[in-house]
């Protein structure tokens, strides 16, 4: 089983390396005009492309097929920001209020013991 998982991991990374080589050489210039002639940062993208190469291929295909309308591309993400901000604000208030109202009672039948300096017991 372990050998199979290692083999699948190697296949995944080799496929990712092939996608990274093609995408970072030819594809990035086609889908992002800000990345044209910017070759210094491309090696930094290699680890990410190795891991998420199916998503990279899908986005590349989608942008090539349908075109890239920048505002439409980020519209779903931006619409979720408001809901996420409200949910996180409510969660912070709830966590703080529950934390402030939580009481920990010391067991009444246990006498406190004072530790002495240098005691290794």
Extract the tokens encoding 117: 């300096």
Q: Are 35 and 29 in contact (CB under 8 A)?
A: yes
Mean residue pLDDT across the chain: 83
Stated pTM of the model: 0.53
Q: Are 28 and 48 in contact (CB under 8 A)?
A: no
Rounded to whole angstroms, how far apart are CA atoms 89 and 13? 40
For the chain, the domains span 2-95
- pLDDT band of residue 88 (cuts 50, 70, 90) is very high
Give the end-to-end CA distance of the chain in Å, rounded to a whole number: 48
Q: Are 20 and 49 in contact (CB under 8 A)?
A: yes
């Amino acid at each position: 089983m372990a050998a199979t998982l290692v083999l699948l991991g190697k296949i995944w990374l080799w496929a990712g390396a092939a996608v990274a080589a093609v995408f970072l050489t030819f594809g990035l210039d086609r889908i992002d005009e800000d990345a044209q002639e910017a070759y210094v940062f491309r090696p930094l993208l290699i680890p990410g492309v190795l891991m998420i190469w199916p998503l990279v291929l899908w986005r590349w295909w989608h942008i090539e097929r349908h075109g890239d309308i920048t505002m439409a591309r980020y519209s779903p993400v931006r619409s979720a920001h408001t809901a996420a901000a409200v949910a996180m604000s409510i969660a912070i208030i709830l966590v703080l209020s529950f934390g402030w109202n939580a009481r920990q009672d010391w067991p009444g039948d246990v006498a406190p013991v004072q530790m002495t300096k240098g005691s290794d017991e």
